[in-house]
Every structure is written in structure tokens, then in C-alpha cells.
Amino acid sequence: MSLDKIIVPLDVSSKEDAIALVEKLPQVTFWKVGLELFVSCGPEILTFLKSQEKRIFLDLKFHDIPNTVAGACRSASRYGVDLITLHATAGKTALKAAQIAAEDAAKEAGYPVPKLIAITLLTSLNSRDLAFDLKVPLELPEYALNMALLAQESGLAGAVCSPQEVAQLRQTCGNEFLLVCPGVRPVWADKGDQQRTFTPVEALKAGANYLVIGRPITASDDPVKALERIIEEIG
Ligand SMILES: O=c1ccn([C@@H]2O[C@H](COP(=O)(O)O)[C@@H](O)[C@H]2O)c(=O)[nH]1
């Protein structure tokens, strides 16, 4: 069912606002907790989501030295979350250490091992940003693919990529590799700061496992209708 493929970010600044959104959209089973909410209310929001039997994408995008990234993934894996993000640019040693730490911690806590997924290149960046600001001498699709392969070679379950790169990553990384796509915009929605977008239908056709769709739903005057419209479009 298409609703199972949609992850909605709780990009709000308080636990009360987050709970109100979860209650407004009871049909959503998979929620994303990102930096804004986690920094303001901490793990309490994870406890709430677990109590509602929701799946949790903990999107804190860890990026640090191997010992620190592994420690963060160890702590995060004790909450029983389903997905955790870290930046592929932390490097192979950090990604491998994070995977081992997550496996050990989840087992100790009695939870299934969360899937670690690596950020390839933020969907708010375009080719110009990559070439001129970040001074990366690779074409954007090649860079994103290299980051995904780095994650795969390090034993991670998947990657976060723009829907525009998902077909290439799916072809190279195979069907078992999880591809989670933010930067998804129905034609009627504002793109905001997202640079590399596809519609929900295009992203799923290209091979995405999950679509992260935030503001088109959560910033809409009627989030319930906006979600229904997206589900209808996906069919
Ligand atoms: O490359 C990335 C990685 C993460 N995100 C996160 O996804 C959502 C997208 O929200 P929208 O409102 O649909 O733009 C947001 O929480 C980001 O932190 C991303 O956009 N791109």
C-alpha cells in the first residue's frame, strides 16, 4: 500500500506540536524525527512514537570521527528506532564502526538492528554547489553513486539520495539496498529549499523504497487532504 512508503518528517520545535501532528494524521505509520525536534525535546519523542506503535526514522545525520559516530549510533540503537542516518563523508572507518556499534547495542537492548543509511549528497544542493562551492571535481550523479557504494561496501543497509539519482543507484547497488528519498514534491507543491526533486510517482517508478514528504503535507492548510491527494496520485 502506498501509505507504507511515505515517511512524514516531524519538523516542528516542540513535543506538543509533534504529538498534535501525529494525532492529526493517524494513518501515517512511519515518522521522521530530525534535528529540530530532537534538539528541543530529546528522546522523549521517541518514547511517545514507540507507545503509538509507529516506525521511527531518526534522522540526526551523524558526521564525526569514527569513535564519536559509533557512539552516537550505539546510543540511538537503544531506542528501538528503525532507520538512522549518518553522512557517507564520515568515511569508511566511521561507517563500519557505526554498523558494528548499532548491531551490538540493538541486540543488548532486545530490539531489531536499525538500518543505518548514509546521506549521499543533501537534496538541497545542486551541481553548481557541488562544483563551485564544495569544489568536488565529479559530476553530481557520479559523486552520489560513489557515496552510496562507499556505504554499501562498509556494510550499511542503504542510502539517502535524491529521487533524481535513485534509478542509477538502484541499478548499481541492487534491489536489497534501501533507497530513501527526500526532495519529493507533487507538482502542486512548492519546492522550497529542495533542489533535486521528482514527484512521488516518478520517485517510486525510479525505484525508491521510501519517500520522505514533509512540507507539502505538514505546511499545508489541510494536511489530511494533502496526504490523501498524494496517496491518490500514487494510486
Ligand atoms: O538530503 C536530505 C536529507 C534529509 N532531508 C530531510 O528530509 C526532510 C524533507 O522535508 P521537506 O519538507 O519535504 O522538504 C527534512 O526533514 C530534511 O531534513 C532532506 O530534505 N534532504
pLDDT at position 1: 65
Residue 30, pLDDT > 70, answer yes
- Whole-angstrom distance, CA of residue 63 vs CA of residue 84: 12
Residue 200 Cβ contacting ligand 1 at under 6 Å = no
Of 15, 50, 61, 115, catalytic: 61
Query: Which residue minimizes the CA distance to atom 2 of ligand 1?
Result: 122
Of the chain, the percentage scoring pLDDT greater than 70 comes to 100
Number of independent structural domains in the chain: 1
The torsion defined by the Cα of 125, 129, 131 and 137, in degrees rounded to 10, comes to -40
Q: What is the pLDDT of residues 184-231, one digit of tens each?
A: 999 999 999 999 999 999 999 999 999 999 999 999 999 999 999 999
Residue 2, pLDDT > 90, answer no
Does 59 participate in catalysis according to the annotation? yes
Inter-residue contact 216 to 202 (CB < 8 Å): no
Q: What is the pLDDT of residues 158-195, one digit of tens each?
A: 999 999 999 999 999 999 999 999 999 999 999 999 99
Does 92 participate in catalysis according to the annotation? no
Domain carrying residue 32: 3-234
CA distances from 75 to 50, 80, 84, 104 (A): 16, 10, 11, 11
- Whole-angstrom distance, CA of residue 76 vs CA of residue 84: 8
CATH of the domain at 108: 3.20.20.70
Total Cβ atoms within 10 A of residue 103: 17
Looking at this protein, which amino acid is placed at residue 140?
A: L
